[in-house]
């Protein structure tokens, strides 16, 4: 698409919105300006292509299509069938999966779909055979209470939140921590690395139905072949949530033991993080789980978003190109540069570095909390998010860490030198952030002051970097 046509298309779109609700047109323009002018280091965010963004804005949004390809609860779904089939085909071929389900609206929805599919496969189906019932309706008449209790009596083992796991991996306040007996594994207190022997011992003791591997804030690769061995030994189903690192799997940076797809029974992901697609999720599964995963809608999902599935198909087609593999490799290389940039300036990184797309910076040595670091960096035009570190003394709200990822700025064309510069300006801001004293004289965990001039200097340094790597070049509103 030529730049001229992109500008014309978006000007027409905004004029159309403007005529109905000008505040939304204005917010849309402002969002582009904000995204263009900030150093986006949020590890879960990215910039999708204009092809992906435009695909979401069509009349596919108007169509109901509950069910699956060829088996819809609504008439007239032939074009949605095309969209869903193409998206699933790209997902299967890109990841080498036996089966792909592209309906989940988000990563959390993909995980719920997976949990219910595993429960259906491992609890409901055996119970039907045991009770001699052909289907659940027959069981409702006879042994429903037994089955219901069995459903509620299953065990899930996932990575703990403060070691980098996700809320949906069994965190107590999340539904995953309520629907299962839950247990979580952490990292080694010394190395901060995943300890496979400890995980194996815990799995032997706990005997979970499901082991969930995958993370949101762990800066290292996982050996999924080893986790598979552990799952096999204890008879657990292995589910991998690759929401954060799907782009590195798609781009063949993670291969062999580090590629979850050949090792897991079920793999879930978002499509909008390192994979650089529309906001959404998907589930990959072995043939054994396919028909159970297919029950996602209407079991736990609302009707499919056909316009988003269309955009997933476009993004997955992009991810199958060589240019995406090059991008994924740069994401990992850039994370290394960012980490080295921090370490060479004396900063502390959880696990001492990275070999994926993110680093977790421990800000304690600057005498501030993650919350103060996050806010001070925002004042300087750097967008990050605060994050707990293992055994965080400041808890999950204030935290002691900041998580930084390279996918978004790599999409803008940042390379090793730019990421080193980013590390330099972040360290400069953190060194110049001081906690304000509370009325009791203790340091505040939220309020802070920044040495005069530091935010301004960081902003002008980042503006220079951003100007050299424009977002959606040629798109003018
Ligand atoms: C981001 C994330 C999710 C949730 O994705 P949403 O699209 O926000 O629902 C689930 N699991 C992991 C590991 C994640 O990082």
pLDDT band at 4, cuts 50/70/90? low
Mutation to probe ligand 1, out of 107, 163, 360 (largest number of atoms < 8 A from CB): 107
Q: Residues 197-224: what's their mean pLDDT?
A: 98
Ligand 1 binding pocket includes 412 (Cβ within 6 Å) = no
Give per-residue pLDDT as tens, 148-180.
999 999 999 999 998 999 999 999 999 999 999
Give per-residue pLDDT as tens, 42-97.
999 999 999 999 999 999 999 999 999 999 999 999 999 999 999 999 999 999 99
Query: How remote is the CA of residue 17 from the centroid of ligand 1, in Å?
Result: 30
Q: Residues 309-337: what's their mean pLDDT?
A: 98
**Closest atom of ligand 1 to CA, residue 280:** 7
| Mean pLDDT score of the chain | 96
**Closest atom of ligand 1 to CA, residue 216:** 15
> What is the residue with the minimal CA distance to atom 10 of ligand 1?
107
Give catalytic residue positions: 64, 66, 241, 270, 273, 279
pLDDT at 1: 53
Of the given ranges (138-147, 176-185, 258-267, 456-465), which has the lowest mean pLDDT?
Answer: 138-147
Query: How remote is the CA of residue 465 from the centroid of ligand 1, in Å?
Result: 29
Tell me which H or E stretch contains 266.
Answer: strand 266-270
pLDDT band at 196, cuts 50/70/90? very high
pTM here is: 0.96
- Radius of gyration of the chain from Cα atoms? 24
Query: How remote is the CA of residue 137 from the centroid of ligand 1, in Å?
Result: 34
Ligand 1 binding pocket includes 334 (Cβ within 6 Å) = no
- Give exposure, 351-363, as e/b (b: 16+ Cβ within 10 Å): bebbbbbbbbbbb
Q: Residues 339-345: what's their mean pLDDT?
A: 98
In the DSSP assignment, the letter for residue 238 is E
Mutation to probe ligand 1, out of 168, 301, 385 (largest number of atoms < 8 A from CB): 168
Q: Residues 35-48: what's their mean pLDDT?
A: 96
pLDDT at 398: 97
Can you list the positions of beta strands (E) in 322-473?
Answer: 348-349, 358-362, 382-383, 385-387, 401-405, 433-437, 443-450
Ligand 1 binding pocket includes 108 (Cβ within 6 Å) = yes
Q: Determine the Cα–Cα distance for residues 167 and 412; give it in Å rounded to an integer.
A: 30
Ligand 1 binding pocket includes 403 (Cβ within 6 Å) = no
Query: What structural domains and CATH numbers belong to the chain?
Result: 59-123+208-319 (3.40.640.10), 323-467 (3.90.1150.10)
Query: How remote is the CA of residue 288 from the centroid of ligand 1, in Å?
Result: 25
Give per-residue pLDDT as tens, 221-278.
999 999 999 999 999 999 999 999 999 999 999 999 999 999 999 999 999 999 999 9
Query: How remote is the CA of residue 106 from the centroid of ligand 1, in Å?
Result: 7
> What is the residue with the minimal CA distance to atom 5 of ligand 1?
107
Distance from chain centroid for Cα 220: 15
Cβ proximity of 394 and 400 under 8 Å: yes
Look at residues 220, 269, 234 and name the one whose alpha carbon lies nearest to residue 91. Answer: 269
């Amino acid at each position: 698409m030529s730049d001229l046509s992109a500008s014309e298309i978006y000007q027409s779109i905004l004029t159309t919105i403007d005529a109905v609700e000008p505040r939304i047109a204005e917010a849309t323009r402002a969002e582009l300006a904000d995204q263009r002018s900030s150093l986006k280091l949020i590890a879960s965010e990215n910039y999708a292509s204009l092809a992906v963004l435009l695909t979401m804005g069509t009349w596919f949004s108007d169509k109901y299509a509950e069910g699956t390809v060829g088996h819809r609860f609504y008439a007239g779904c032939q074009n949605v069938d095309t969209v869903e089939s193409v998206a699933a085909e790209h997902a299967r071929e890109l990841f080498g999966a036996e089966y792909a389900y592209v309906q989940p609206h988000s990563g959390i929805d993909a995980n719920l779909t997976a949990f219910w599919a595993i429960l259906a496969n491992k609890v409901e189906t055996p119970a039907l055979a045991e009770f001699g019932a052909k289907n659940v309706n027959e069981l409702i008449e006879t042994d429903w209470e037994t089955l219901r209790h069995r459903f509620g009596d299953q065990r899930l083992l996932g990575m703990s939140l403060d070691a980098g796991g996700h809320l949906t991996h069994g965190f107590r306040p999340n539904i995953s921590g309520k629907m299962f007996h839950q247990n979580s594994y952490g990292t080694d207190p010394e190395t901060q690395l995943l300890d496979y022997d400890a995980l194996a011992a815990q799995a032997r003791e706990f005997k979970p139905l499901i082991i969930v591997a995958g993370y949101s804030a762990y800066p290292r690769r996982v050996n999924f072949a080893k986790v598979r061995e552990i799952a096999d030994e204890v008879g657990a189903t292995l589910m991998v949530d690759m929401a954060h690192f799907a782009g590195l799997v798609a781009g063949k940076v993670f291969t062999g033991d580090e590629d979850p797809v050949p090792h897991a029974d079920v793999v879930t992901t978002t499509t909008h993080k390192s994979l650089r697609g529309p906001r959404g999720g998907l589930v990959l599964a072995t043939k054994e789980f396919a028909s159970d995963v297919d029950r996602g809608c209407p079991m736990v999902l609302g009707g499919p978003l056909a316009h988003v599935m269309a955009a997933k198909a476009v993004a997955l087609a992009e991810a199958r190109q060589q240019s995406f593999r090059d991008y994924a490799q740069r994401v990992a290389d850039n994370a290394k540069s960012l980490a080295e940039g921090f370490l060479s300036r004396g900063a502390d990184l959880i696990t001492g570095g990275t070999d994926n797309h993110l680093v977790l910076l421990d800000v304690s040595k600057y005498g501030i909390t993650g919350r103060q670091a996050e806010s001070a960096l925002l004042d300087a035009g750097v967008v990050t998010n605060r994050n707990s570190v293992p055994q965080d003394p400041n808890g999950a709200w204030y935290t002691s860490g900041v998580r930084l990822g390279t996918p978004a700025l790599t999409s803008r064309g940042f390379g090793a030198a730019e990421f080193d510069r980013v590390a330099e300006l972040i360290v400069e801001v953190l060194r110049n952030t001081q906690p304000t004293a509370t009325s009791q004289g203790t340091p505040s965990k939220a309020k802070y002051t920044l040495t005069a001039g530091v935010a301004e200097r960081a902003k002008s340094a980042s503006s220079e970097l951003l100007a050299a790597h424009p977002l959606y070049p040629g798109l003018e509103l």
